[in-house]
């Protein structure tokens, strides 16, 4: 439906249960689902793809959306994901039909208990790299940073899950979306036969009219089930010099990337906390006013990507360290996932806390920001906590 509908939703779409109905309606392969704190979207089918070309992707997306504009219809929308590597192909499409609903977190039905899948796959789990190898890569990066070679790098590891039957992706999405309804949950095709599915807490950038918002996260600690300990960990994170440094590197990069586009950019001087079911994060909400109304959400996202929350500083050195240290291809992980309409409004989310499903396999990804004060033990524990959300969703314990 439409931008106008988004601003003035039709009564039927305001009915309690509209957002959870979209969640229930999600079908893999044909559908693109994205829930944010502002909207719930379900795109079905594919009316147009984005052509290959030498011009920037954001321009090609704008041209496709402009060509599909009809005077009597709402502005068309593109949905999908962009990979971490700049030269890898995006997985974007203009759906035949986009259904909009208010946010999941405002839907009274979101609080209903999620029925557990009785027939859970019998997962075999392989860690790539092993936690020991991951710790060694962290130690090597720390030594190079202490020698002054670079400032920060984000190193990731994966879990490869294989089963004798295909996972139930709609059930997984329902579980993820209901567990963190304040975050960004998504399920989109990411390549032939592949689905990217996850629940990210991090907004790369959104644009609404001439207003932009970015919400970099960096600096994390696992939650505790003991309330007093959970609060103690949150308080310690807010005071941790190592995490404040790791966070500041990201905020500075976001500020520098967005400043040229803005007449006004507001960057709070100290971070606050956000929490997911599994982690506490340091968070800064950056807001700004656009200088040029023709700059789209994807123009802004492309200028920001990759932030040091997922790559490092300086970017080119960090990219090289990642390529040399990680024994797998990141694919869509640490890219972006989201939507944008022909007016240039949209939301692009950092693709983390996610997995890529293909047939009977699932590949889970988790990374952590490494700075000179990092330790291999703490970063291995942080990535284990980041896997936890997803492992619960698929019914695999580790």
Ligand X SMILES: C=C(O[C@@H]1C=C(C(=O)O)C=C[C@H]1O)C(=O)O
Q: Is 386 in the site for ligand X (CB under 6 A)?
A: yes
> Could you give the CA distance from residue 216 to residue 125 in angstroms, rounded to a whole number?
31
Nearer to ligand X, 26 or 365 (CB): 365
Q: Work out whether 369 is an interface residue with ligand X (CB under 6 A).
A: yes
Residue 218 touching ligand X (CB under 6 A): yes
By the rule CB under 6 A, 366 interacts with ligand X: yes
In three-state secondary structure terms, 123 is coil
Task: Find the shortest distance in angstroms from Cβ 89 to ligand X.
Answer: 22
Q: Does 93 bind ligand X (CB under 6 A)?
A: no
Q: Does residue 202 have an active-site annotation?
A: yes
**Minimum CB distance to ligand X smaller for 353 or for 388:** 353
Q: Which of 90, 144, 155, 85 is nearest to 327 (CA)?
A: 155
Binding-residue pattern over the window 161 to 190 for ligand X, x denoting contact by CB under 6 A: ------------------------------
Binding-residue total with ligand X (CB under 6 A) = 18
Active site residue 152: yes
Q: Which residues, numbered 292-321, are part of the site for ligand X (CB under 6 A)?
A: 309-310
Q: Provide CB contacts within 8 A for 2, sequence distance 6+.
A: 73, 74, 75, 100
- Kindly state the smallest distance separating residue 241's Cβ from ligand X, in Å: 14
Is 158 or 302 the residue whose CB approaches ligand X more closely?
158
Measured from the CB atom, is 243 or 299 closer to ligand X?
243
Residue 217: strand, helix, or coil: strand
Q: What angle do helix axes 169-179 and 18-25 make, rounded to 10 degrees?
A: 150
* Residue 232 Cβ vs ligand X, minimum distance, rounded to whole Å: 18
User: Can the peptide bond before residue 314 be classed as cis, meaning omega within 30 degrees of 0?
Assistant: yes
DSSP-assigned letters across all residues of 92-118: EEE-SEEEEE--GGG-GGGGSPPPPPS
Rounded to whole angstroms, the Cα distance separating 211 from 222 reads 33
Residue closer to ligand X, measured from CB, 101 or 310: 310
Structure tokens at 84: 């971490």
Residues 6+ apart with CB under 8 A from 266: 286, 287, 288
Residue 90's closest CA among 266, 284, 305? 305
For ligand X, give the closer residue by CB, 296 or 383: 383
Q: Which stretch binds ligand X (CB under 6 A): 67-75, 111-119, 211-219, 315-323?
A: 211-219
Integer Cα distance of 352 and 385 in angstroms:
13
- Binding ligand X (rule: CB under 6 A), the pick from 178, 353, 363, 388 is 353
Interface residue with ligand X, options 138, 145, 203, 217 (CB under 6 A): 217
Residues contributing to the site for ligand X (CB under 6 A): 154, 156, 202, 217-220, 281, 309-310, 352-353, 365-369, 386
Residues designated catalytic: 152, 202
């Amino acid at each position: 439906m439409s931008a106008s509908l988004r601003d003035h939703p039709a009564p039927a779409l305001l009915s309690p249960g509209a957002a959870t109905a979209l969640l229930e309606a999600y079908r893999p392969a044909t559908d693109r689902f994205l829930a944010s704190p502002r909207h719930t979207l379900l795109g079905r089918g594919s009316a147009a793809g984005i052509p290959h070309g030498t011009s920037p992707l954001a321009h090609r997306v704008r041209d496709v959306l402009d060509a599909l504009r009809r005077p009597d219809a709402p502005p068309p929308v593109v949905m999908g994901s962009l990979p971490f590597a700049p030269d890898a192909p995006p997985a974007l499409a203009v759906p035949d039909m986009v259904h909009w609903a208010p946010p999941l977190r405002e839907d009274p039905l979101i609080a209903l208990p999620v029925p557990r899948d009785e027939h859970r796959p019998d997962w075999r789990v392989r860690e790539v790299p092993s936690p020991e190898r991951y710790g060694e890569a962290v130690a090597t990066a720390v030594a190079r940073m202490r020698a002054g070679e670079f400032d920060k790098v984000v190193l990731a590891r994966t879990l490869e899950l294989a089963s004798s039957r295909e996972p139930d992706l709609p059930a997984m999405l329902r579980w993820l979306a209901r567990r963190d309804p304040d975050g960004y949950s998504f399920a989109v095709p990411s390549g032939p036969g592949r689905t990217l599915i996850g629940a990210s807490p991090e907004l790369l950038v959104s644009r609404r009219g001439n207003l932009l918002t970015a919400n970099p996260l960096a600096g994390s600690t696992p939650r505790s089930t003991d309330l007093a300990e959970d609060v103690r960990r949150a308080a310690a994170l807010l005071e941790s010099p190592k995490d404040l440094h790791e966070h500041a590197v990201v905020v500075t990069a976001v500020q520098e990337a967005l400043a040229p586009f803005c007449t006004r950019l507001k960057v709070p001087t100290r971070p606050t906390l956000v929490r997911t079911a599994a982690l506490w994060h340091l968070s800064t909400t950056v807001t700004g006013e656009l200088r040029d109304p023709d700059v789209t959400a994807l123009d802004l996202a492309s200028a920001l990507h990759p932030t040091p929350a997922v790559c490092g500083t300086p970017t080119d050195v960090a990219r090289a360290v990642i390529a040399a240290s990680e024994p797998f291809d990141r694919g869509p992980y640490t890219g972006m996932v989201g939507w944008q309409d022909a007016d240039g409004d949209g939301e692009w989310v950092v693709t983390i806390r996610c997995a890529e499903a293909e047939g009977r396999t699932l590949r889970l990804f988790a990374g952590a920001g490494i700075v000179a004060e990092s330790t291999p033990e703490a970063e291995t524990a942080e990535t284990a906590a980041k896997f936890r959300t997803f492992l619960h969703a698929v019914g695999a314990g580790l």
